[in-house]
Amino acid sequence: MRTAEIASRYLDYFETRGHLVVPSASLISPNPTTLFTIAGMVPFIPYLLGEKTPPRKRMASNQKCVRTLDIDEVGKTTRHGTFFQMLGNFSFGDYFKEEAIHYAWELLTTPQDKGGFGFDPAKLWVTTFTDDEEARSIWRNEGMDPERIQQMGMEDNFWTTGGPGPGGPCSEIYVDRGPQFGKEGGPIADENRYTEIWDLVFENYEVDNVKSKTDLHIVGELANKNIDTGMGLERVAYLLQGKNNIYETDEMYPVIEAAEKLSGRKYGEDADADVRFRVVADHVRSALMIMSDGVRPSNEGRGYVLRRLIRRTEVAMRRLGVTSEVLPYLLPVSKDAMAPNYPELNETFHDISEAAYGEEDAFRRTLEKGTTILDVAVGNAKKAGNVVSGKDAFELHDTYGFPIELTLEMAAEEGVKVDEAKFRELMAEQKSRARADALKKRGNVDVSVYDEIKKSLTAPLEFVGYTTFSTRST
């Protein structure tokens, strides 16, 4: 089942059960404290908090998400992407635990020819919050083997906003991928073998004093109980498509194939190279989707995340042996794989690709200069304690525009460390030198008084010295 079909099957299922299906909100988070939309519930927060009335009490969506926290996991685990899609069904003061669990179980276990996803019930496991006997009894009534219901505490299975307000227990659903993927014993024993696919959150409490997840105070029951769920589309896709990980699904694998062609190497032959192929598949798609929501590369915030994704793609391809430009080959492939679900890409792609290719060109110039220097520094490090000196890292930054993360990543690839403390010290010294220089340029005097005078003027100053002599008498 293609990824786009899994998404529409999910949304159809909930639409026929009275949910209003809404399009994904932008990746640019409406919440000023996060750069990107990190979960399906983000656009619904005002409804969950009771601040706004939802257009319907039951809603569902397929939300585009970006989690940069997971960037180092990419390619190494089977299940973490920087960009991914979260399917979700929500109830704002309408149905609660019983229906939420029933819908999840029914959709997952109904055979594919009858509209469901056809998971074998014997391979499904769930976790519930330790105190939530009600959830466990609902799962048992649905047909879940009690042996495959595990309990987790506050840290893992209790949701809050991080402050006073709604909160409540969660129940997470996992799929057992089989003994070849790890040890027995359910998700508590091995989260690689047992892949989490869906999280059901039952918001029924009002909480305050949320010092930490394990130290909060339950004020009482909410008048309006909410359901908020999130299912990882890529995770369900790789399991249903019989693949090993999310990067091998129909929306990402074409990029791996294109990278194989460019590099002349084969995916599946070498573990390190495979991580790089997967990083490329993930990052090219994330860059495409982030740009599709209007972000362009820059030195801060979202633009910097995008810049890092493009740079990491370039570096990963270099490590696969490709030194020529790569995005003009990889980006259109990713666009074609994503366009069935995001037809707007066909309109925006021209602008996106121009900006992406320009960014790649600029970075390639930086890389060409810096890589040789880094190679020498890494060679030296291998002879002396396996640490690249802070001075070399600083020179790479200062003279060749190599961001420190890149030096760290490239050095790590070669199995050496970087003296980051010394690098930071040199950076701090450089900053204070720059401040001192700026002061010198102003003649080492406090000229702020002139700035004040300038601010108090009501009309712009005009220089009249070329045409007018001073009439001031001495």
Site residues, ligand ATP (CB under 6 A)? 39, 67, 70, 79-81, 84, 86, 196-199, 230-232, 234-235
Least Å from the CB of residue 238 to ligand ATP: 10
Of residues 75, 104, 13, the one with CA closest to residue 315: 75
Tell me if 195 sits within 8 A of 78, measured CB to CB. yes
Shortest distance, CB of residue 229 to ligand ATP, whole angstroms? 8
Cβ proximity to ligand ATP: between 125 and 349 the closer is: 125
Interior angle at CA 83, CA 227 and CA 79, nearest 5: 80
Cβ proximity to ligand ATP: between 80 and 311 the closer is 80
Q: Helix, strand, or coil here: 68?
A: helix
Minimum Å distance from CB 302 to ligand ATP? 17
Query: What is the DSSP code string of 100-157?
Result: HHHHHHHHHHS-GGGTS----GGGEEEEEETT-HHHHHHHHHHT--GGGEEEE-HHHH
Q: Cβ closer to ligand ATP: 236 or 411?
A: 236
Give the nearer residue to ligand ATP in terms of CB position, either 246 or 262. Answer: 246
Shortest separation between residue 81's beta carbon and ligand ATP, angstroms:
4
CB distance 407 to 418 below 8 Å: yes
Question: Shortest gap between Cβ of 324 and ligand ATP (angstroms)?
Answer: 30
> What are the structure tokens assigned to 37, written together?
């939309």
Of all residues in the shown chain, the one whose CB is closest to ligand ATP is: 232
In angstroms, the CA 336 to CA 338 distance is 6
Nearer to ligand ATP, 41 or 295 (CB): 41
Phi-psi category of 149—alpha, beta or left, where left has phi over 0 and alpha has psi -120 to 50?
A: beta
- Continuous segment of H or E residues that includes residue 382: helix 345-383
Which CB atom, from 196 or from 336, has the smaller least distance to ligand ATP?
196
Q: What minimum distance in Å lies between the beta carbon of 80 and ligand ATP?
A: 4
Closest approach, Cβ 285 to ligand ATP, in A, equals 12
CB of 223 to ligand ATP, least distance (A): 26
Q: How far is the CB of 69 from ligand ATP (least distance, A)?
A: 8
CB 320 to ligand ATP: min, Å:
23
CA angle, residues 267, 371, 332, in degrees to nearest 5: 45
Angle between helix 404-413 and 420-441 (nearest 10): 160
* Inter-helix orientation angle 345-383/327-338, to 10°: 130
Burial class, 116, CB count within 10 angstroms (exposed 0-12 / middle 13-18 / buried 19+): middle
Q: Which of 238, 402 has the CB closer to ligand ATP?
A: 238
At residue 59, φ and ψ (nearest 5 deg) are -140, 160
Q: Which residues pair with 127 in a beta bridge?
A: 150, 172
Q: Which one, 67 or 148, has the nearer CB to ligand ATP?
A: 67
Say whether 376 sits in a helix, a strand or coil. helix
CB 446, min distance to ligand ATP, A: 52
- Looking at beta carbons only, is 173 or 377 nearer to ligand ATP? 173
Contact between 280 and 331 (Cβ < 8 Å): no
Q: Which is nearer to ligand ATP, 71 or 396 (CB)?
A: 71
Q: Which helix (H) or strand (E) holds 177?
A: none
Could you tell me if residue 321 is left (phi over 0), alpha (psi between -120 and 50 degrees) or otherwise beta? left
- Cβ nearer to ligand ATP, comparing 101 with 374: 101
Neighbours of 325 (CB within 10 A): 15
Q: Quote the CA–CA distance of 171 and 160 in Å, as a whole number.
A: 14
Residue nearer to ligand ATP on the CB measure, 155 or 462: 155
Q: Minimum CB separation from ligand ATP for residue 417, in Å? A: 27
**CA 378 and chain centroid, separation:** 30
Q: How far lies 430's CA from each of 390, 398, 426, in Å?
A: 13, 10, 6
